[in-house]
Amino acid sequence: MRSLAPPRHGRARSVGPVRSAERAAPWRRRRTVLVALAGIVATAPAVLAAGAAAADDGSPGRVGGGDDHRSGAVFVQLNAASGNEIAGYSRALDGRLVAAGRFSTGGLGGTAVGAPLDALASQGSLVLDGSREVLLAVNAGSDTVTSFAVVGARLQRRSVVPSSGQFPVSVAVHDDVAFVLNAGGHGSVSGFRIRGGALVPIPGSTRELGLDNTAVPTFITAPSQVGFTPDGHALVVATKSNNTLLTFRVSDSGRISGSPTTTASAQPVPFSFVTDPAGRLHVTNAGTGTQTSYRLGRDATLTALGTSAPTGGAALCWNVRVGRTVFGANAGSSTISAWRIEADGTTTLTAPVAASTPAGPIDLAASPDGRFLYGQNAVAGSLSVYSVAAGGALTPVQTVPGLPVFANGGMEGIAAS
């Protein structure tokens, strides 16, 4: 069974009906959320300008090359509206990346309405199931999901299937079951089995979320992530401006409960989440730049354990766990922050700025052994590679240029093996 936690020993990492936004929270709550996020849009032009001047460290990934000293791979979703592709990179023993090719998903990329620099406004749009050597990618522009067989750093397309909803933005995998989050319209989650590397729909597995979006949703009102708890018995959805976390019970057959349990977020705009081995959720709050930890009860309710100090950065929207450390990307201030997971399940902010990045850091991924951290820089059009020391200290290793620069659309989604 596959969890949201970073994989160990080469296993994979997955990244977890509500009322309409008007009914899910009082107007005062919605106004607070929208004001908190308005700054992201307001600062987008400045961030875009900064991206044009962003420089790499002089050690870009090479095109081609042999197989010597390779120890894994990194995959990046390019998300072009004219045709979605996945860029593959071989990962060397020192963490550096070498380009291995680009692979068509057979679908189209998409961009949420008003997205300031993150086209899909989500976490988990590209998910690697290392136990089956399968990569799953959403095609938001064509309402489909693609599965690939993974062969080193290269991909072989196995299936392209309807997502059973509009504007798919996130995928979660546990054992041979995958669930896709559709952000458009009323929003929904829909289940699939992984069979021979292909996705096969689970009959009767689609559940609507009761949202009130257009087919292509506005970035702030779109749900942002779906993910499993480590034991696979619950499926979690973050809803951003609805300020809720939804939990569905999952049976051993892969079917989910008819309706979710709704938990009000402790802080505005819950965006992304990871879990730890004890099953606790650690959720980024984009509205306040904080991280809140939750305990999941047997009745699928979530209880807040505590909220960290704010990072001081702007647009904290993505996170990844490496051992007892959680890293989060602040897209609006081009920094990565770090937290330590305490014994009581809360997190302590240990480094408001663990690393400064090129413009527009979004999705993050870690190597299975936890030695390296990889980040997408949507505005700069690059990848950043960091080595991870004990305690979570980051050291820059490489910047890989040559990826799409955000301009009313751009890349989103990263996975590492």
d(CA 338, CA 394): 9
Mean pLDDT of 310-324: 97
- Check whether 67 has a pLDDT greater than 80: no
Q: How confident is the prediction for the chain on average, in pLDDT? A: 86
- Check whether 42 has a pLDDT greater than 70: no
Q: What are the sequence ranges of the domains in the chain?
A: 21-416
Mean pLDDT of 167-187: 97
pLDDT at position 254 is 85
Identify the DSSP state of 240.
G
pLDDT at position 202 is 95
Q: Which of 304, 314, 306, 395 is nearest to 352 (CA)?
A: 314
Q: Which of 249, 267, 272 is nearest to 259 (CA)?
A: 249
pLDDT at position 101 is 98
- Per-residue pLDDT reduced to its tens digit, 189-217: 999 999 999 999 999 999 999 999 999 99
pLDDT at position 131 is 84
Q: Do residues 226 and 179 touch, judged by C-beta distance below 8 A?
A: yes
* Residue 112: alpha-carbon gap to chain centroid: 15
Buried b (16+ CB within 10 A) or exposed e, 219-241: bbbbbbbbbbbbebbbbbbbbbb
pLDDT at position 12 is 40
Q: Is the dihedral of CA 123, 16, 180, 224 positive or negative?
A: negative
- Per-residue pLDDT reduced to its tens digit, 366-396: 999 999 999 999 999 999 999 999 889 999 9
Mean pLDDT of 91-107: 97
Q: Which two tokens stand for residue 154?
A: 């290269």
- Check whether 400 has a pLDDT greater than 60: yes
Rg over alpha carbons for the chain, rounded to the nearest Å, is 19
pLDDT above 90 covers what percent of the chain? 79
Other Cβ atoms closer than 10 A to 27? 8
pLDDT at position 252 is 84
Q: Exposed, middle or buried by CB within 10 Å (0-12, 13-18, 19+), for 46?
A: exposed
Q: How far is CA 81 from CA 36, 109, 411, in A?
A: 29, 4, 10
- Check whether 50 has a pLDDT greater than 80: no
- Check whether 34 has a pLDDT greater than 60: no
pTM recorded for the entire structure: 0.85
CATH architecture of 21-416: 7 Propeller (2.130)
pLDDT band at 2 (very low <50, low <70, confident <90, very high): very low
- Per-residue pLDDT reduced to its tens digit, 219-269: 999 999 999 999 999 999 999 999 999 999 999 888 899 999 999 999 999
Mean pLDDT of 397-407: 97
Q: Do residues 138 and 171 touch, judged by C-beta distance below 8 A?
A: yes
pLDDT at position 333 is 97
d(CA 33, CA 293): 20
